[in-house]
Amino acid sequence: MSTSATPLPPAASAAPQPPRPVAGQRGMRSALEEALLPPLVALLIALVVGDILILTFGESPRQVYRLLIEGTWGNPYGLGQVLFKATTLIFTGLAVSLGLRAGLFNIGAESQLAAGGFAAAVAGLTLAAGTPAIIAIPLCILAAAAGGAAVGAIPGVLKARFGAHEVIVTIMLNFIVLAFLNWIVAARMAVPETLHTAEMRAGTVPRLADSMGAFHGSAANWTILVALAAAGLVWWYLERTRAGYELRAVGLQPDAAEYGGVRVGGVWIRAMMFAGALAGLGGINQVLGYKHYYEDAFTGGAGFLGIAVALVGRNHPLGVVLAALFFATLSQGGLAIHALVPKQMVEVLQGIVILAVATSVPEVRRLLRESAARGVR
């Protein structure tokens, strides 16, 4: 009797109605506006501030910006450096945005990145010299992911188990993990007179320059393919898998997710582990692709910049890739303009962009809602 839901005749009040695709398009458009306007506003504000800073140094903004473009996308070396810097930022940006999609603010990408790099280096040091790349590289990549995931799991567990706020825990963990890595490298593993480990015996990834001469001198390497694959995988995970469906549900409405049979605490732990793994993977760019050893403090703020990347990329994997390229361009461009204006200018601009996006997101949403309400009336 209860095996099949017999379709009932529509109720009497149900008059047939033509589909209204307009509503769908309008919904899409406003969603797109909501996503794209804040970064554009931020870019404009950054440009204005940038002009002011350049003028205080008595230089011409136009000339400085031209130099910035020429020094980055204008030549293969600059482009290579942009790609190199973007690779790490894609990973850390994905790490932050995956957490945010689950409703968690992961400030710990910096230490997760460091732990991943360290684990990759240890794996490369442990492997026998001459281990074939086909085995060594995947093992080192897995080690990086595992290292980051281990650090990421801690705030997830503490939140699920004790309700400890992940923001504070990840901030505190950054200091703890970085201090621990500093100790273990300095006290146990460092090559004398340095703060880095010995070179890996196996698992290194070739640079782009090895097969494309134009990139000569730049640190760009093939781990960028792993970064792009990770972005695609994160998109697929979020949009196509059941776990992703549940993760997004927890991020949007935890009560509704719980109603839908999702164990919210479990999703928190899983999301933070995956986020940690993504940030940890960022370590392969530096360790497998560039230096071939773990160097203390190699992260240099790339984990924190991941927050900016996630924010500007609006938590969408494609957005994260584009935002990573943007911030990498700024960072590399700072070096290019250093002759005219101190490269520290780009650090100011990074801060301005984050601040402007953060302030304009609620504002844009409010304005769009208001104009939508006016349109209805």
Partner 1 sequence: MIVLAFLIQTLRISIPYLFAASGGVIAERAGVVSLTLEGFMLTGAFTATLGAYYSGDPWVGVLCGVAGGLLAGTLHAIASIRYRADQIVVGIAVNLLAVGITRFFLRLFFESSSNSPRIPGFAGEETSGLFAPFADPLVWLGLLAIPAVAFLIGRTPFGLRVRAVGEHPEAATTVGVNVPRVRYAAVILSGVLASLGGVYLALDQHQFTDQMTAGRGFIALAAIIFGRWDPARAGIACLLFAAAESLQIQLQTVQAIPSQFVSMIPYVLTIVALAGVVGRAVPPAALGKAD
Partner 2 sequence: MTLPPASPAIARAIAAVGVVKHFGSVAANRGATLDVAPREIHALVGENGAGKSTLMRIVSGMFPPDAGTIHVNDRDVTGWTTDAAIAAGVGMVHQHFMLVPTLTVAENIVLGHEPSRRGVFDRARAVKDVEALTERTGLRVDANRRVSSLSVGEAQRVEILRTIFRGARILLLDEPTAVLSPPEIHDLWRILRRLRDDGATVVLITHKLDEVMDVSDMVTVMRQGETIVRTPTRDTTPAALARAMVGREVALAGATAVAVGAAPAAPIPFNPAGTTQNRAISRDATPLSGGVRAVSPSAPTLTVRDLVVPSARNVRAVDGVTFTAIGGEIFGIAGVEGNGQTELIEALAGLRRATSGSIHLGAHDITRDPVRTRVDHGLSHVPEDRHRRGLILEYSIADNLVLGAQHQYSRRGVMDRDRIAANATERVAAFDIRPPDASLPARALSGGNQQKIVIAREMKRNFSVLLAAQPTRGVDVGAIEQIHDRLRAARAEGKAIVLVSAELSEVMALSDRIAVMYGGRFVAVVTRAEATEEILGRYMTGAAGTAGGAT
Chain positions contacting partner 1, by CB under 8 A? 53, 56-57, 105, 107, 158, 161-165, 167-169, 171-173, 175-176, 179-180, 182-183, 187, 304, 307-308, 311, 342, 344-352, 354-355, 357-363
Chosen residue from 54, 227, 257, 287 binding partner 2 by CB under 8 A: 257
Q: Pick the piece of the chain touching partner 2 (CB under 8 A) from 18-26, 188-196, 216-224, 345-353.
A: 18-26
Residue ranges of E strands in 91-177 = none
How far apart, in Å, are the Cα atoms of 90 and each of 27, 78, 115, 209, 232? 29, 18, 17, 21, 11
95 residue type, one letter? A
| Binding of partner 2 by 56 (CB under 8 A) | no
CB of 138 to partner 2, least distance (A): 22
Chosen from partner 2, partner 1, none, partner binding at 2 (C-beta under 5 to 8 Å by type): partner 2
| Binding of partner 2 by 7 (CB under 8 A) | yes
How far apart, in Å, are the Cα atoms of 287 and each of 48, 58, 227, 298, 299? 37, 40, 14, 9, 11
Decide: 345 and 334 in contact? Cβ < 8 Å.
yes
Taking the C-alpha atoms of residue 160 and residue 363, their distance in angstroms, rounded to an integer, is 32
| Binding of partner 2 by 161 (CB under 8 A) | no
Chosen residue from 163, 192, 261, 375 binding partner 2 by CB under 8 A: 261
Chosen from partner 1, partner 2, none, partner binding at 48 (C-beta under 5 to 8 Å by type): none
Chosen from partner 1, partner 2, none, partner binding at 208 (C-beta under 5 to 8 Å by type): none
Structure tokens at 63: 């000339």
Decide: 318 and 272 in contact? Cβ < 8 Å.
no
Taking the C-alpha atoms of residue 174 and residue 186, their distance in angstroms, rounded to an integer, is 18
Residues in touch with partner 2 (CB under 8 A): 1-8, 10-14, 17, 19-21, 23-24, 27, 240-243, 245-246, 248-249, 252-253, 255-261, 263
